[in-house]
Amino acid sequence: MSLQVGDSAPDFSASDHEGQTRSLGDFSGQRLVLWFYPKADTPGCSREGCGFRDLYAEFQAKGAAILGVSYDSPADNKAFVEKYGFPYPLLSDGEQAIAKAYGAYDAGQPNYPQRNTYVIDGEGKLEQVLLAVNPKTHPRALLDSLGS
């Protein structure tokens, strides 16, 4: 069963690139963009991550926090953040629990999450479910789709 707009977002808890535990509840009352990317510091993921970085202030102006999620280790994600100057946390989902809960896990490609994004409203409900997004155009298209 895949998640649909209006469903409650699955709770999660994982370490970010700084070793801080982040959970869905940390973002209660605000919009959250949860974007899954296959592998840190690869061309598509770097392009998508930099797109979110470059538009970060505009996402914040729309009340949206951003979290990236991959199966990469905290150390690999930290290097990715430092290389590109990402102003948002990257979560390490090494157990693949978050990807499985959200439907970003692909048994045919078990080493990489699918390039999906989930927008969660301040009440913990899914506002958008975006599957197999284009890393080149996705950050701008997502920003443009968000209401204020």
The predicted model scores a pTM of: 0.95
pLDDT value for 147: 78
CA separation, residue 136 to residues 22, 85, 133, 139 (Å): 27, 18, 9, 8
Confidence (pLDDT) at 1: 54
Residue 2: what pLDDT? Answer: 84
Q: How many residues does the chain have?
A: 148
3-class DSSP state of 146: coil
Instruction: Check: CB of residue 60 under 8 Å from CB of residue 51.
Output: no
Strands 64-70 and 31-36: parallel
Residue 10 is given by DSSP the state: P
Q: Is 50 a catalytic residue?
A: no
Is 48 within 8 Å of 13 (Cβ atoms)? Answer: no
Options 40, 45, 66, 143, the catalytic residue: 45
The tens place of each residue's pLDDT in the chain, 148 residues long, gives: 589 999 999 999 999 999 999 999 999 999 999 999 999 999 999 999 999 999 999 999 999 999 999 999 999 999 999 999 999 999 999 999 999 999 999 889 899 999 999 999 999 999 999 999 999 999 999 999 997 6
Answer yes or no: are the C-beta atoms of 69 and 36 closer than 8 Å: yes
Domains and CATH numbers, the chain: 14-145 (3.40.30.10)
